[in-house]
Amino acid sequence: MNDLLSTTFLVGLIAATLRVATPLVFGTVGEVITERAGILNLGIEGIMFLGAFVGFAAAAKAEAAGMAGYLWIGLGAATVSGLLMALLMGLLTVTLGLNQHVSGLGITLLATALSLFGFRLVFGESSVLPSIDPFPQLTPFGDAPVIGPIFTQYLLTFVAFLVVVPVGWWLLYRTNFGLNLRSVGENPEAADAAGINVFRTRYLALAIGAALMASGGAFLSLASLGAFSPGIIAGRGWVCIALVIFARWDPVRGMLGALLFGGVFALQLRLQTLGFALPYEVLLALPYLVTIAALAIAGRNVAYPGAYLKPYRRE
């Protein structure tokens, strides 16, 4: 028991929580923005995977070519891959008005298959997993006790909590664009009548969302792992889908949900290494079960965006 209450254990746990939560924050805020515009993007799992792959492949190639900013090239490439998927999702669900959940799943299947295909293409079938020199951790508080190690984190973790969440919140609630975005998601007919370009707004929401999702995936391959493997996302996108509902479509609550899940995940890893025999799968299933329970309890009062899952067509 002493092990569990020691400062080292807690500090390590908090630091790990922030790290684990980082890709979830990116994905959840991205999905919140997309869903507030009235589009459920089930492509998230695949877009995070594609971001992780494209980011890694571009960085590895640039590193091999001796470019100094190879990690940034990777991050940029990941973002572009996310934007391309957003464009495809927009074509399917906004322009053509197709079924959002089947389109989204199709995007996930496509992005996943393309990444695996690309991985074989770029790196061949070698038995040694290729790796890169990843982003270094920053130490803004140096060796100071407690806060030193807690805030020894990757730049993208700072970006997630200090930029993505506040800017996402500000964008949604404090800008004209956010107002338009939310009205397009609540009532596209009224928004259209008020002169808002429904199609352009939805495309932009998809683009911002997918860029964030892809960056979240790239965080894993470019920072926390420095490698790419087929199990790199392992359902994190679906966790984000759950967190968005759990957070009632709000970026700040989404961040809290990501921290909560990050904490549970980090805790089970640590308990396992300390030799506690516990079915960790039960803990990992919590975000899904809690979300389903929350939906059941809120029942008919779940505040879905008004135009959730509904395509918009001008008659």
| Closer Cβ to other proteins, 176 or 301, answer by number | 301
Contact of 233 with 49, CB cutoff 8 Å: yes
Q: Least distance to other proteins from the beta carbon of 25, Å?
A: 19
List all residues 6 or more positions away from 99 whose beta carbon is below 8 Å from its beta carbon.
93
Considering only CA atoms, which of 109, 165, 103 is closest in space to residue 311? 103
* Residue number with CB closer to other proteins (128 or 296): 296
Shortest distance, CB of residue 294 to other proteins, whole angstroms? Answer: 10
**Measured from the CB atom, is 120 or 174 closer to other proteins?**
120
Comparing CB distances to other proteins, the nearer of 116 and 190 is: 116
Residues near other proteins, by CB under 8 A: 40, 42, 88, 92, 95-99, 101-103, 105-107, 109-110, 112-114, 116-117, 120-121, 199, 235, 238-239, 241-242, 245, 279, 281-282, 284-285, 288-289, 291-292, 295-296, 299-300, 302, 304, 308-309, 313-314
In whole angstroms, give the CA distance from residue 304 to residue 286: 22
CA–CA separation, 304 and 120 (whole Å): 41
Alpha helices in the chain (DSSP H): 2-5, 7-36, 44-64, 70-90, 100-123, 147-150, 155-159, 165-174, 176-186, 188-193, 198-219, 236-246, 251-273, 280-284, 286-298
Closest CA to 60 of 233, 231, 218: 218
In the bound state with other proteins, the residue whose beta carbon lies nearer, of 147 and 289, is 289
Which one, 144 or 295, has the nearer CB to other proteins? 295
Contact (CB, 8 A) for 11 and 146 = yes
In angstroms, what is the minimal distance from the CB of 90 to other proteins? 13
- The torsion angles phi and psi of 227, rounded to 5 degrees, stand at -155, 170
Task: State the nearest-atom distance from the C-beta of 10 to other proteins, in Å.
Answer: 27
Q: Show Cβ contacts of residue 43 under 8 Å, excluding neighbours closer than 6 positions.
A: 85, 89, 103, 104, 105, 106, 107, 108, 111, 210
* Minimum CB distance to other proteins, residue 19 (Å): 21
> Which is closer to other proteins, CB of 6 or CB of 95?
95
Task: Give min distance, CB of 241 to other proteins, in A.
Answer: 6
| Shortest distance (Å) from residue 123 CB to other proteins | 11
